[in-house]
C-alpha cells in the first residue's frame, strides 16, 4: 500500500496555502481534494462536520452522490440511518452510489431543515414553526416540504 491519505491531504493543504495564502476560505468556501489511486487503506471519501475540506479517493471524486454526501458533512450534517449508518436512502446523507450520472436526489427534509434553508416568515406567512402558549399548550404549524410554497398556513 502507498502513503496514507492523511499525509497526502496535508501536503495538498500546505501547497494550497503556499500558493493562495493561509486563509483558504478567502479563496473558496469549500475545497474538494481528489486523491490519485494508491493511498493506503480501502477508504472512499471523507469530510469533517462544519469544515470546508472534503477528500475523495480516486474515482469517487467523479460520483455526485459521494460529493454531495461529503459536502453535506461540511454543511453540518451527520449520517442518516435508522438501524445502522448509511441505511437511510431518502437523501444524500445515507448510502452513496458509485455512479457518475446519479441518482437524482437531494438532502432529505430533516437535513434541509437543519440547515435553516426555510425562512421564518415572508410573503407566504410563517413557514416554519408557529408557537402559541395561550392556554399552556404548544401548537405548531408545519408545512410539508412538498407544500412549502403552496400551503403556508395549513396545519399538516
Tens digit of pLDDT for each residue in 79-122?
Answer: 887 777 777 788 888 888 888 887 877 788 778 777 766 655 43
**What is the enclosing helix (H) or strand (E) of 31?**
strand 31-35
Q: Does residue 18 have a pLDDT over 90?
A: yes
What mean pLDDT do residues 42-51 have? 94
**What is the enclosing helix (H) or strand (E) of 66?**
helix 64-74
**Rg, Å, the chain Cα set:** 20
Mean pLDDT of the chain: 78
Q: 87 — phi, psi (to 5°)? A: -80, -10
Of the chain, the end-to-end C-alpha distance in Å amounts to 54
- 153/132: higher pLDDT: 153
- 10/143: higher pLDDT: 10
Residues near 63 by Cβ (< 8 Å), separated by ≥ 6? Answer: 96, 97, 98, 99, 100
Q: Is the pTM of this model over 0.75?
A: no
The three grid cell numbers given for residue 153, joined into one nine-digit string: 398556513
Amino acid at each position: 500500500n502507498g502513503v496514507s491519505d492523511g499525509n497526502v491531504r496535508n501536503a495538498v493543504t500546505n501547497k494550497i496555502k503556499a500558493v493562495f495564502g493561509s486563509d483558504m476560505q478567502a479563496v473558496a468556501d469549500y475545497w474538494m481534494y481528489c486523491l490519485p489511486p494508491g493511498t493506503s487503506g480501502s477508504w472512499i471519501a471523507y469530510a469533517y462536520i462544519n469544515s470546508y475540506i472534503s477528500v475523495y479517493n480516486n474515482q469517487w471524486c467523479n460520483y455526485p452522490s459521494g460529493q454531495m454526501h461529503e459536502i453535506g458533512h461540511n454543511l453540518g450534517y451527520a449520517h442518516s440511518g435508522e438501524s445502522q449508518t448509511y441505511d437511510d436512502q431518502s437523501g444524500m446523507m445515507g448510502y452513496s452510489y458509485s455512479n457518475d450520472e446519479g441518482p437524482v436526489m437531494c438532502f432529505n427534509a430533516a437535513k434541509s431543515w437543519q440547515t435553516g434553508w426555510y425562512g421564518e416568515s415572508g410573503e407566504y406567512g410563517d413557514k416554519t414553526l408557529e408557537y402559541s402558549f395561550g392556554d399552556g399548550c404548544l401548537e405548531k404549524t408545519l408545512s410539508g416540504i412538498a407544500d412549502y410554497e403552496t400551503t403556508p398556513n395549513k396545519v399538516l
